[in-house]
Amino acid sequence: MVAIAIDKVHKRFGSLEVMSDVSLDIPSGEFVVFVGPSGCGKSTLLRMIAGLEPISEGQISIGGRVINNVPAAQRDIAMVFQSYALYPHMNVYDNLSFSMKIARKSRAERDTRVKAAAEMLQLTPYLHRRPRELSGGQRQRVAIGRAIVREASVFLFDEPLSNLDAALRVATRVEIAKLKDSLPETTMIYVTHDQIEAMTLADRIVVLNAGRVEQVGSPIDLYLEPRNLFVAGFIGSPA
Ligand code: ADP
Ligand code: MG
């Protein structure tokens, strides 16, 4: 089943077209990685899927329903940002349970889900700390935990590891690989400009360049049969 259908999508900021005629079907449960140089439109595409940015032309459907005019809060999507975007005044427990409070989940259900997510992400010892008392890697795990407790059918990650140092980046990448395995039905779109992340995590890689799709394929397909020099250069170059 197709989870997300992107159909002839364009995005303009004023007279500047930053996304031109992008079409892509993403099956349920797939882990898709968007790669491409800075400014090529990766975040803009994620933000249109999430409902944080209007779509100029074309349409996006989730689970068969066109969502162009559906508010972000009603899209069954959880998003993890590069900057974590945690609530600074709340401890980890409250950061994790906040969206469920808004959704009027019972205290017992919130507690069960928070504890399960904390266990999964090795955050149990830190539930009573504030974000400023955590390392960058722990903060990003809280941000991932907030996505998990929402049990959304789609997870979007926008360069979640790029603010971490090299060692933490590897450790957190391993956490994300585990998350992918433990939620096989959840569709995940992951933006990065790091080829190693793309190659190790992706079921399929979408190479974007200047607002267009250059090539879509499995990591091995792109590695062995890049369609053009741009893809070859991008996949082959060191991180
Ligand atoms: P990426 O995430 O691939 O680095 P972005 O999606 O952030 O790229 O940006 C794509 C293009 O759109 C860039 O040229 C950027 O300058 C432009 N852009 C993004 N957001 C805005 C905005 N709010 N107003 C005007 N231009 C924008
Ligand atoms: Mg970006």
| Ligand 1 binding pocket includes 149 (Cβ within 6 Å) | no
**pLDDT for res 235:** 79
State pLDDT tens for residues 197-218: 999 999 999 999 999 999 999 9
| Mean per-residue pLDDT, 61-79 | 93
- pLDDT at residue 230 above 90? no
Give 93's pLDDT tier (boundaries 50, 70, 90). Answer: very high
Q: How far is CA 76 from CA 65, 82, 133, 163, 169, in A?
A: 12, 20, 30, 26, 27
Choose one of 12, 43, 55 to mutate for the ligand 1 pocket test, by most ligand atoms within 8 angstroms of C-beta. 43
User: Which ligand number lies closest to the CA of residue 206?
Assistant: 1
Q: Which helix (H) or strand (E) holds 217?
A: strand 212-217
| Ligand 1 binding pocket includes 54 (Cβ within 6 Å) | no
Task: Please name which of 136, 140, 141, 109 lies closest in space to residue 122, comparing C-alpha atoms.
Answer: 141
ipTM of the complex: 0.98
| Mean per-residue pLDDT, 10-30 | 97
| Ligand 1 binding pocket includes 47 (Cβ within 6 Å) | no
How many C-beta atoms lie closer than 10 Å to residue 49's C-beta?
A: 24
Ligand 1 atom closest to the Cα of residue 16 is 26
| Ligand 1 binding pocket includes 106 (Cβ within 6 Å) | no
CA distance 136 to 166: 12
- pLDDT at residue 236 above 80? no
